[in-house]
Structure 1
Amino acid sequence: MIRSFIFAVLALAFLGAPASALQLEPYKDDLFAYPGILKTSDGGDYVVLDYNEMRDINGRDQVPERRVKQNYISLQPKRSQKDLVVRTDGGSTKLIAAGKLSGASVITIYLHGQGGNRQQGMNDFTFGGNFNRLKNLMVRSGGLYITPEFTDFGDKGENEVAGVIDYFKAQSPQAKLFVACGSMGGALCWKLAQDAETSRKISGLIILGSLWDEHFIGSPTFKRRVPVFFGHGSRDPVFSVDKQHAFYENIRTSAPGYPVRFHRFEGGNHGTPIRMTDWREVLNWMLSVAP
């Protein structure tokens, strides 16, 4: 009788406990680990990282900036990779998807910058194999990785990407969905953040070597306290690292405790965050704090 009572209490306690958040399993962590941390502040949210082209490009690539060394990649996700056309209210959108098209555990969408296309974020060999790692992290965790093409960085492009988000979120309604934006693609991240309907489906924004938008503060996404990650090279000639850092600080002061992080790659250029950002670290942090 006593044993039965104890068992019932434990069962109720177990049923009442929240399920632990999904965390991506390690994948080539030793190869993609940050080479050195120069400074941390803001409780670890602001990190200055060592970057050296001779080590991080020439030492990592078989052909610098064109083909990474073989040990950095695995082509296993190509088994599930598909070139698709999705028809939504925003129109017909070409995209490449790798992973589970429905019932995915997690979804990451990468939006390219000026002059890019849907192939950029699916290229296994460029950017030091970092996109290949992201693809592997998604597929090996039962997730989905998507790289869409879009018309522009304005309203039409926003509608197309919003349509892709709507479509795949409907196929995997329980999945956390993260949008990563490289360079000018950030304009779409900030536009999506302003849309009340789309913002409810986004669990995190990843801004890589990109621009800022003060209108984000007060947006539907901001009010939901959706986590934001900034990765930026200190020598970025396109978007000022100082202005992006000031925007990060503005978010922090506007909403104390807001989940926002900034990784500054000291000596890095415009494309450095795409090459160097530790996807597993960033996504696991977002999975742990996303609304």
Structure 2
Amino acid sequence: MSTDHFYNRPVKLGLQRLALTATLLISPAIARAEEPIKPFKDALFSQNRVLESRDGGAFQVIDYQEQRDINARDEEPERRVKSAYVDTGVRKDQVNETLNLSGSPLEVMRVGPLQDAAFTVIFIHGRGGDRRLGANDYSFGGNFNRLKNLAVQNGGSYYAPSIKSFDPNGAADVAALVRHVFELSAGRPVILACASMGGFICQSVSRDKEAVRYLKGLVIMGGPPDPGFLTTPAAKLKIPVYFAHGSADKVYKAEDQIGLFEKMRAKKYPVVFRLFETGGHGTPVRMSDWREILNFMLTGGNFAPR
């Protein structure tokens, strides 16, 4: 997952859909009486059409079109987004660090304050990636740049570590980082987001009885399903979960992840699912609405659809 080219390109999937109304719903953004995260470039990132919505808005199918959302959005498709989508002034708040938290060095990129962050997001890359992927302002449609700006402008911090392995050793590094930033921020919310194979790290951390005490939420972007999730310490604490998946993902089938979502909903679990119609494996990293994600997590998984 070192570049957009790691992912499969979107392919049309013939899923059966409910008949669309003549007027398509606009914006899947979550609305609340008080949204803690203020807007940043919402007109570019938060105005996607909703093709289908159910479960009170918890499950939504989002319109995704390669021609519009990659080719028309990027100066160089999959490599460099147009300048309107980014604000690189946030780089003044960005540093590379090497931490030693669990007995081995862990390279991280951090944006935002070291201490007393209002919240912290930790992004875990997939196979072939490192901290540079989550730090790239121009790839993935500028979505990481938006996350950086949303974090800094709202008093938060964003970490992108380099994961050396997706086994218990890699999970131990991440669990130690979760506790580290929790302590640095005096117990304020910590959100762990995992993309692609990085989802195995989220699965391991969800089973760590100590680490889950420091978590406010889990974000799974095009990740592998976890059939045993509802038995984990994270599930027992009802830690909110946000799923984002492409309907044409050839690495991890969308239907498998939707099945887990439905089991969670049946148990009244705080969970959201965003399915990008025709999207491939990398689509969630490009298209997920980080402001929606953060507002969902920071309000404890409570929302009313806009």
**TM-score (norm. length: structure 1):** 0.90
Name which of 140, 154, 162 aligns with 1:149. Answer: 162
Alignment deviations for residues 208-256 of structure 1 (CA, whole Å, 9 cap, x no partner): 0111112211211101111101100011010001111111112222x2x
Alpha-carbon distance, 1:170 to partner: 1.0
Please, which moves more after superposition, 140-149 or 159-168? 159-168
Q: Which residue number corresponds to residue 36 of structure 1?
A: 49
**Matching residue of 2:27:** none
Give yes or no for the alignment of 1:67 onto 2:100. Answer: no
Partner residue, 2:298: 287
On the 8 A contact 1:34/1:278 being kept in 2, the answer is no
Q: Percent identity?
A: 41
Q: Is the 8 A contact 1:90 1:163 kept in 2?
A: no
CA distance in 2, matches of 1:286, 1:143: 13
Corresponding residue number in structure 2 for 1:129 = 142
Q: Against the structure 1 CA distance between its residues 43 and 228, is the aligned structure 2 distance closer, same or farther, given a 3 Å change threshold?
A: same
Equivalenced residue count is 270
Query: Structure 1 runs of 4+ off > 6 angstroms?
Result: none
Q: Secondary structure of 1:151's match? A: coil
Offset from partner CA, 1:134-193 (integer Å, 9 cap, x none): 010001111100000122111000011111112111110232110110000000001100
- Whether the 8 Å contact between 1:105 and 1:174 is mirrored in structure 2 is no
Answer whether contact 2:115 2:185 (CA < 8 A) is retained. Answer: yes
Q: Which amino acid aligns with 2:218?
A: L
Report the counterpart of residue 93 of structure 1 in structure 2: 106
Candidates 198, 205, 209, aligned match of 1:185: 198
**Cα distance between partner residues in 1 of 2:146 and 2:184:** 24
Q: Which has the larger radius of gyration?
A: 1
The structure-2 alpha-carbon separation of the partners of 1:94 and 1:21, relative to structure 1 and needing over 3 Å to count, comes to farther
Amino acid at match of 1:264: L
RMSD (CA atoms)? 1.4
| 8 Å contact kept, 1:100–1:143 | yes
Deviation at 1:91, TM superposition (A): 2.1
Matched residue, 2:269:
258
Residues 233 and 138 of structure 1, relative CA distance in 2, 3 Å threshold? same
Q: Does the 8 Å CA contact 2:125/2:163 hold for their aligned counterparts?
A: no
Structure 1 residue 71, shift from structure 2 partner: 0.7
Q: Per the alignment, in what secondary structure is the counterpart of residue 236 of structure 1?
A: coil
> 2-side partners of 1:55 and 1:163: how far apart?
40
Q: Deviations over 1:36-95 (max 9, x none)?
A: 110000111000011000000011101110000001000122101111011112421010
Deviation at 1:21, TM superposition (A): 7.6
TM-score, normalised to structure 2, is 0.86
1: distance between equivalents of 2:289 and 2:238?
22
Structure 1: gaps of 5 or more residues = 1-19
* Cα pair 2:208 2:233 within 8 Å, conserved: yes
Higher relative contact order (CA 8 A, sep 6+): 2
Which residue of structure 2 aligns with residue 26 of structure 1?
Answer: 39
Q: Which of 110, 120, 123 is the aligned partner of 1:107?
A: 120
2:279 to 268, 280, 283: 268
Query: CA–CA distance in 1 between the matches of 2:35 and 2:58?
Result: 21
TM-superposed CA distance for 1:35, in Å, is 2.6
C-alpha deviation, 1:22, in angstroms: 6.9
Higher helix residue share:
1
Cα contact 1:203–1:290 (8 A) shared by 2: no
Secondary structure of the corresponding residue to residue 299 of structure 2 = helix
CA contact (8 A) 1:110 1:147 kept: yes
Aligned partner of 1:276: which letter?
M
